[in-house]
């Protein structure tokens, strides 16, 4: 398919079309089509570095949008909504809606295993596309794209509708043969009618803190932070 078709879908005409091409290039394609190239040379052709930037740009746009839409919400509530909006599930749904899988360049092996429809790949590609727009036309253009493309997700995002991070954390710990976490209120701040609760989630070898205008919201944030800590523990240390 021609990239002009995708540009119409994205609502952005690239001045540097090579940025969009790179955003759509999976590392498997780069490896298969870069014979004799070094890892650094291959990295210049695939989209992982763009994903890194796109993740940050998306996070800023979402944080800004949620704050302006919900200025009275506590940090914990905003964090829960942000986690939902930037989650792999949400990004994969956006990627499928944009039909990014149809435009991906990927290796034969990845193609055979259904790579064009894999949630993680679609989610990563959305982040890479956001970065491509950012580098092509600046933050305002990237923000406009995110606000337009994620409009429905923003409307549905509420603390109550966010992911059940407490259940996810318990499942994550059970998969490691670890006991369920314990939650405890460590302090409260504010007047009785506008109180903020601070809750700590404790598990074998770790702890994380969250806050919110209710104990439940604070527990959810603590669980979300705990999951990020656990995921970080599995990543290779540089």
- Lowest-pLDDT range of 40-49, 179-188, 198-207: 40-49
In whole angstroms, give the CA distance from residue 75 to residue 61.
Answer: 16
108-124 residue pLDDT tens: 888 888 989 999 999 99
- Whose tokens are 């498997």? That residue is 28
pLDDT tens digits along 44-82 = 688 999 999 999 999 999 999 999 998 988 787 888 788
Catalytic-labelled residue, pool 46, 51, 55, 136: 55
199 touches 186 (CB < 8 A): yes
CATH entry, 165-234, from 3.30.160.20, 3.40.50.880, 3.40.50.1980, 1.10.1660.10: 3.30.160.20
The question of whether 117 is a catalytic residue gets the answer no
* Residue 93: partners with Cβ closer than 8 Å, 6 or more residues away: none
Catalytic-role residue among 127, 136, 200, 219:
127
pTM beyond cutoff 0.85:
no
CB 201 within 8 A of CB 207: yes
Active site residue 77: no
At residue 206's C-alpha, the angle toward residues 184 and 59, to 5°, is: 90
Each domain of the chain, given as residue ranges in start order, spans: 3-156, 165-234
Asked if 200 and 208 count as a contact pair (C-beta separation under 8 A), the reply is yes
CATH fourth-level superfamily of 3-156: Ribonuclease III domain (1.10.1520.10)
């Amino acid at each position: 398919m021609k990239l002009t078709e995708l540009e119409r879908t994205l609502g952005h005409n690239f001045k540097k079309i090579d940025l969009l091409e790179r955003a759509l290039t999976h590392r498997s394609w780069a490896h298969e089509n870069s014979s004799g190239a070094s890892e650094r040379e291959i990295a210049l052709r695939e989209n992982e570095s763009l994903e890194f930037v796109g993740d940050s740009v998306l996070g800023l746009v979402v944080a800004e949008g949620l704050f302006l839409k919900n200025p009275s919400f506590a940090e914990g509530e905003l964090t829960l909504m942000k986690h939902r909006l930037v989650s792999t599930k949400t990004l994969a749904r956006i990627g499928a809606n944009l039909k990014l899988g149809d435009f991906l360049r990927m290796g034969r092996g990845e193609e055979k295993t259904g790579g064009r429809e894999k949630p993680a790949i679609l989610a990563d590609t959305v982040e890479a596309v956001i970065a491509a727009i950012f580098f092509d036309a600046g933050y305002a253009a990237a923000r406009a794209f995110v606000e337009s493309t994620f409009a429905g997700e923003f409307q549905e995002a509420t603390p109550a509708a966010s992911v059940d991070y407490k259940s996810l954390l318990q499942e994550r710990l059970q998969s490691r043969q670890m006991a369920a976490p314990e939650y405890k209120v460590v302090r409260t701040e504010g007047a009785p009618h506008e109180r903020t609760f601070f809750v700590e989630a404790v598990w074998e070898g770790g702890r994380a803190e969250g806050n919110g205008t209710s104990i439940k919201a604070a527990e959810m944030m603590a669980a979300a932070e705990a999951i990020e800590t656990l995921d970080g523990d599995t990543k290779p240390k540089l």
